[in-house]
Structure formats: structure tokens, C-alpha cells
Amino acid sequence: MTASFLRPRPGFEWSAVNWGGPDEPRTEHCSYCGDAFPDRNESGFIPLILLRRDGWVAEFCDHCQATWWGMQSFDEVEPRRGKRAPGPRGRGCGRRLGLGRAIGRASGVARVGAPVGLRRGFADRRGNDL
């Protein structure tokens, strides 16, 4: 059994949620306010999806995510060429430049990668996310 720490803000009405059935296709409208979702292929929109144990699903738009769940969305930022992305504590990230293995081999010390949350936004030489 898993515990959920995601809770709606005060004033949220669970009775107003339009739950989609387990065998129904995904909705194109917010399950709370009914607004149409933007085109998923063009906008990069990602709905908040809640899934009950019995298979019923609710999907929420950006507005309802912010209003009722306290979530924020941000546009992706393209890294500037020639600049290193700051790593933990503002230092340059050696892993991004492929220096972690070279330093580890030279010193004989095994290097451990940063936790997944700290690696977000970094890319290797080919542009693949780490």
C-alpha cells in the first residue's frame, strides 16, 4: 500500500470531479472545470492524472493544477552554447563534460552520480539527457 501526500487545497469539491471509467479512452477535457486540453502533440501539455484503485481516472488542466493542487508549470529553457550548466552548489558539472569517469580512473576512486533530481536538465555530448 502506498501513501499519497498530494492533497487538494481547501475548497476543492471531490463531488465535482468527472471520473473517467476504467475502459474509456482518455478525455480531452479537464475532469474538474471541463475546459478543453491543448493539443498534446504541439503544446507539450501534461495533465495531472489521478488514478483510483478501482481504475477510475481524472485528468486536470494547468489552471486547475495551479488553483487546486498548487502546481506550477514552466517553459523549457534551452541551454546556451559554450556555457556549462551549474551543478550542485553552483559548480560546473563534470559529468556533463564526461570528466567523471576520467577523474575516477586517474585517482582510483569510484565516482557516484548525482541523484536523479540533480541531474535533470544536464545532457551529454550528444544532447541526451542524463
**53 in a domain, yes or no?**
yes
Parent domain of 33: 14-69
State the burial class of residue 67 (Cβ atoms within 10 Å of its Cβ: 0-12, 13-18, 19+): middle
**Residue 116 CA: distances (Å) to CA of 21, 50, 91, 112, 121:** 34, 23, 17, 12, 10
> Do residues 53 and 88 share a domain?
no
**6 in a domain, yes or no?**
no
> Do residues 61 and 18 share a domain?
yes
Low-confidence ranges of the chain (pLDDT < 70): 1-4, 82-130
Out of 46, 69, 92, a domain closes at 69
**24 in a domain, yes or no?**
yes
Share the mean pLDDT of the chain.
Answer: 74
pLDDT in tens, 7-34: 999 999 999 999 999 899 989 999 999 9
> Do residues 62 and 18 share a domain?
yes
Q: How many residues can be counted in the chain?
A: 130
Number of structural domains found in the chain: 2
